[in-house]
Amino acid sequence: MSITRTAVAPPDGHLIGSPRLAWYNPKLDPHIAATKMTAKMRAAVMNGTYDDGTPRNSGDLETPDRDHPANLFSSLCADGAHRPALDIDLRFDSFSPAALAGVLEHRGPMMLIESCSGNTHAYVPEMVCDWAEYQRVMERLVWAGFLERRYVDHSLVRGQTLLRVPGVIKVY
C-alpha cells in the first residue's frame, strides 16, 4: 500500500489518478453566497456554526466553465465507475491511514489531503466500484467511524460523493 499525505491537493481532477467528474456548485461560490446571506447567517458561517444539514439545500451541480470553475470533485468518473473520494471525519494528522485502508479492503495507493477545515479528504484512484459496491464501502466507513452518517445520506441522494476542490471553503 502506498500512501501520499499532502497539505496541498493537485490543481485538478486528472492529477489524482482517475478521470473524475468535476462540478460547479453556485452555493459554494463565496461571491454568490455572500450576496445572498443575511447578517445572522454570515456570522454563523464565519464562526462555523451554520449547517442546514439537508441535501436539497446543498445547491445544484452545474457543468464548470471559464467563469464558473469547478469547485467540487466527484467519486463518479467519466467511465461511469466510482473511485472513492471521501470526506473523512477525522483530523488530518490524527488517524491511521492503514486502518482506513483496512476498512476499504484496498492495498493500492491512497492520496490524503488536508481539507480547509483541517479534516481529511481521501482519494483512492485505483479502487474502482460500481454504485452498489460503493454504497457498501461507505456503510462500512460509517460503521468504522471514518464517515459521518449525514455525509453518506447526502451522497446517496446525489449518486456520488463530492469533495470541495482544495482552497474552496464551505460558506453555506
Domains of the chain, residue spans: 3-164
Average per-residue pLDDT in the chain? Answer: 76
C-alpha–C-alpha distance, residues 160 and 148, integer Å: 15
| Confidence bin at 111 (pLDDT 50/70/90) | confident
C-alpha–C-alpha distance, residues 152 and 148, integer Å: 7
- The answer to whether 163 touches 72, Cβ cutoff 8 Å, is yes
Task: Order across the sheet with 119-123: list the strands.
Answer: 3-6, 110-114, 119-123, 85-91
pLDDT(163) > 80: yes
CA distances from 130 to 82, 97, 136 (A): 6, 23, 10
| pLDDT on residue 46 | 59
Question: What is the tens place of the pLDDT at every residue in 124-160?
Answer: 888 999 999 999 999 999 999 999 999 999 999 999 9
Phi and psi at residue 150, to the nearest 5°? -65, -40
| pLDDT on residue 13 | 47
Question: What is the tens place of the pLDDT at every residue in 28-40?
Answer: 766 655 565 566 6
| pLDDT on residue 5 | 35
